[in-house]
Structure 1
Amino acid sequence: MTQQDIKEGKGLAIVSYLALIGIIIAYFLNNDKNNPFTAFHLRQSIGLWLMFHLLGFVVSGFDNWGVTSGFYLFFCVLFIYGLINAIMGKAQTVPILGELFQKWFSNIGR
């Protein structure tokens, strides 16, 4: 990934972290360009959003404010980490599952 790729793809990489509609916008706008930096952050963002919703369904069964607030805090930190990396122009995976997201969604952006 070159500095030119990072410079051109930074805007869409940032957009990909802004809710599910951001993923859709960044995905379709990146289809023509195939920017590797945007594709990297798209894979991270898709993985985070899917895990958030899947685990959120499980956590919603708990009637404990500590569990639910811990869940939201955990994902808030991961989203902010990914967003800051996109803003700074870094292609760093999010902790814990970032490498798996790159493998699972490897067909995105190729």
Structure 2
Amino acid sequence: MNNSIEKGKTAAITSYILIIGVFIAMSMNSENKNSFASFHIRQALGLSITFISLGLIISNFDSPMISISMWVFLSVLWTYGIFSAINGETKPIPLLGNYFQKWFSNIS
């Protein structure tokens, strides 16, 4: 199991680098599927889509308070996710992580 985590760690960490990192990690993981990397790719993809969706919705409000709240919320989740990948853990991101695993289950 540890060997599997070490092999997938680079792709897992890469997936958290904005949306482009998700696509790079997906291509890194396409040849030899790694369950650890796949887990984090699903988490990072979900975070990226959440970021874009919330950004589009919140951009309609001209409130710095709402914008700052979104940035803090997503930054905390992103930090949780990337540190989970660095530490070799497969802990879902709080609140949304289990949904991301379900919704993007076809990504392996």
Report the TM-score range of the alignment, normalised by the length of the smaller protein. Answer: over 0.9
Counterpart CA distance in 1 for 2:60 and 2:18 is 23
Give the TM-score, by structure 1 length: 0.96
Pairwise CA distance, 1:96: 0.4
- Which residue in the other structure is 1:49 paired with? 48
- Which residue in the other structure is 1:73 paired with? 72
Shift >4 Å, 4+ stretches: none
Pairwise CA distance, 1:55: 1.2
- How many residue pairs align between the two structures? 108
Task: Structure 1 unaligned segments of length 5 or more: list them.
Answer: none
Counterpart CA distance in 2 for 1:58 and 1:52 is 10
- Which residue in the other structure is 2:61 paired with? 62
Task: Structure 2 unaligned segments of length 5 or more: list them.
Answer: none
- Which residue in the other structure is 1:24 paired with? 23
Counterpart CA distance in 1 for 2:29 and 2:39 is 11
Counterpart CA distance in 1 for 2:94 and 2:47 is 11
Name the Cα RMSD after superposition. Answer: 0.6
Counterpart CA distance in 2 for 1:39 and 1:17 is 12
Alignment of 1:65-104 (within 5 A): 65-104=64-103
Counterpart CA distance in 1 for 2:12 and 2:50 is 19
Counterpart CA distance in 2 for 1:25 and 1:62 is 33
Residue type of the alignment partner of 1:93? P
Residue 33, structure 1, aligned to residue 35, structure 2: no
Pairwise CA distance, 1:3: 1.1
Counterpart CA distance in 1 for 2:32 and 2:15 is 15
Give the TM-score, by structure 2 length: 0.97
